[in-house]
Amino acid sequence: MPEIIMPRLSDTMEEGTLAAWLKQPGDQVQRGDVLAEIETDKATMELEAFEEGVLQQILVKEGETVPIGQPIAIVGAGGASAPAAAPAQPAPDAAAPSPAEQAAKIETTPEVETSTAAAEAAAASAAVPAAAGEPVKASPMARAIARDQGIDLSTVTGSGPGGRVVKADVEALAAGDGGRAAPAAAPAAPAVKAPAAAQPAPGADVEEIPLTSMRKTVARRLVESMQSAPHFYLTIQVDVEALLGLRAELNQRLADEGVKLSVNDLLIKACAVTLRAHPDINVSWAGDKILRHRRVNVGIAVAVDGGLIVPVVRDTDQKSVSQISKDAKALIERARIGKLRPEDYTGGTFTISNLGMFGIDQFTAVINPPEAAILAVGTTNEEPVVRDGQLATRQRMKLTLSIDHRALDGATGAQFLAALKATLEEPLRILA
């Protein structure tokens, strides 16, 4: 009987968490059916069936985390479940697929919602709320909306397969449609809680917060970066008066197209133009060699629930600022709802981390390996300056470049920052 294994879904993934099973033992499975949702270090992805048959046995429970390559379920031709005590082996003529084959069947597909009233009514009539103590089955989109709206998913009756809460269920409750809300459950005997819902011991003054797969990966990679890459920091102050004026003018001209540029969009383009002119910064450390990249792919550090991820805007030196803005907004939105695809967060050659919107004047960022540099962007402040012997105020911003001293020298980084400053202070260069 073919085994379904935990596939590798990203270059940094070492384990995955079984977020939800959408099929149960005894269910008929067709090729392409979504069997489960898997939480990785980057996003929540849907696992599709690669074989037709019957889901005979689930080997990994919801909420459990297992390493890549470990069997998580068994699909067979018969209808009877395989004995739990005897792990099944692949039949001689039906070898288990490789991790690469399974990874090819994983994709982050948009959530499919019922569009007709008849189908919605049928789904609602079959909806069953989650029992007390059981984890709520919900799609990533539904979880994201519930989190934003402050809705407890345990109070929502799911209309999806097997009582799964989908986007429409949460939206209906948020809009005031009480028909989707589950009635309050009667007091029940204490249930055994899943590890993800661990509570502090009675009398304790601390709370244990289990690590998500993303947080584990962020912690490991940042420790590796700080321990292996000798960080070197360079800070420069930039007059952004002209940049802000250009942004206002462009937004006025692009208003009819629905485009609204941010300072970060202009920074991404400015960095791309400067990287093209200074290719020694657009490199990665590869142990016994340095890789100079021909493409300029700028990553954007994005804070999400449970960690940090860096989606990548590709070929930024060849795109217009308005296109960069559209691409960046789409990537950030997908990152925040856990819908990034592997190609969305791989292949970066340089990263920007902007905390200016939080009022942070200056900070140093940790390099995103194997890249050799990351730019930390502070807030814009109105500061007094002397111009032509006269005291005036100007909008100014501090930029700090962290570089990997194995791949770059201080002078190389300083030349890049000086060129970036010149571009930002004469921002028409961005559009040239």
- pLDDT profile of the chain (432 residues), mean per 10: 77 80 88 84 78 87 87 75 42 44 42 36 42 62 71 77 70 60 43 50 75 82 91 96 95 90 96 96 94 96 88 96 95 89 91 95 95 97 90 95 96 97 94 78
Q: What is the pTM of this model?
A: 0.61
314, 307 contact by CB (below 8 A):
no
- Residue 185 has a pLDDT of 41
Beta carbons within 10 angstroms of residue 391's beta carbon: 8
Q: How far is 231 from 203, CA to CA, in rounded Å?
A: 43
For residues 383 and 238, state if they share a domain.
yes
185 in any annotated domain: yes
* 245/24 Cα distance (integer angstroms): 59
CATH number of 385's domain: 3.30.559.10
* Whether residue 136 sits in one domain with residue 227: no
Question: Which pLDDT score, from 0 to 100, does residue 1 have?
Answer: 57
Helices 321-336 and 263-277 pack at an angle, to 10 degrees, of 110
* Structure tokens belonging to residue 329: 């907004």
Q: Is residue 197 part of a domain?
A: no
Beta bridge partners of 304: 307
CATH code of the domain covering residue 42: 2.40.50.100
Query: Which three-class secondary structure state does DSSP give residue 265?
Result: helix
Q: What share of the chain is helix, strand, coil (3-state, %, to 5)?
A: 30, 25, 45
Do the domain assignments include residue 265?
yes
CA angle 392, 396, 402 (to 5 degrees): 150
Same-domain check for residues 52 and 22: yes
Rounded CA-CA distance 281/423 in Å is 16
- Which pLDDT belongs to residue 305? 82
φ and ψ at residue 313, rounded to 5 degrees: -90, 115
For residue 386, the surrounding DSSP H or E stretch is strand 373-387
Active site residue 278: no
Are residues 46 and 151 both part of a single domain?
no
Within-domain flag for 202: no
pLDDT at 49: 82
Q: Tell me phi and psi for residue 275, to 5 degrees.
A: -65, -35
**Domain annotation covers residue 206:** no
- Radius of gyration in angstroms for the set of CA atoms belonging to the chain, rounded to a whole number: 26
Residue 379 has a pLDDT of: 96
Q: Is residue 207 domain-resident?
A: no
On whether the CB atoms of residues 376 and 365 are closer than 8 A, the answer is yes
What phi and psi, each to the nearest 5 degrees, are found at residue 134? -90, 145
Query: For the chain, what is the largest distance between any 2 Cα atoms, rounded to a whole number of angstroms?
Result: 88
Domain of residue 69, residue span: 3-107
Q: Is 359 helix (H, G, I), strand (E, B) or coil?
A: coil
CATH of the domain at 157: 4.10.320.10
Chain length of the chain: 432
Catalytic residue among 231, 278, 293, 405: 405
List, in sequence order, every residue forming a beta bridge with 351; answer none if it has no partner.
Answer: 299, 374
C-alpha to C-alpha distance for 273 and 279, rounded to whole angstroms: 10
- 169 and 84 assigned to the same domain: no
Integer Cα distance of 233 and 404 in angstroms: 9
What local confidence, expressed as pLDDT, does residue 199 receive?
Answer: 54
273, two tokens: 């133009």
Helix 140-149 / helix 167-174 crossing angle, nearest 10 deg: 20
- Clarify whether residues 330 and 356 are in a common domain: yes
The reply to whether 50 falls in a domain is yes
User: Which of these, 119, 75, 69, 78, lies nearest to 98 by C-alpha position?
Assistant: 69
Count other Cβ atoms within 10 Å, centred on residue 231.
Answer: 15
Q: What are phi and psi of 154, to 5 degrees?
A: -70, -15
By C-alpha distance, which of 198, 273, 270 is closest to 238?
270
Phi, psi of 104 (to 5 degrees): -65, -20
Is the distance from CB of 324 to CB of 314 less than 8 angstroms?
no
If you write DSSP's letter for every residue of 2-17 in order, what string do you get?
PEEE----STT--EEE
What is d(CA 348, CA 311) in angstroms, rounded to the nearest whole number?
8
pLDDT at 323: 95
Pair (101, 141) in one structural domain: no
Do 228 and 98 belong to one domain?
A: no
176 and 220 share one domain = no
Look at the chain and report how many structural domains it folds into.
Answer: 3
- Tell whether 306 and 407 lie within a shared domain: yes
pLDDT of residue 110: 38
Tell me what pLDDT residue 153 has: 77
Nearest to 74 by CA among 62, 65, 84: 84
- Examine the domain organization and report whether 98 and 152 are in the same domain: no
Token pair for 51: 């074989």
Residues 290 and 420 in one domain: yes
Q: What are residue 76's DSSP bridge partners?
A: 54
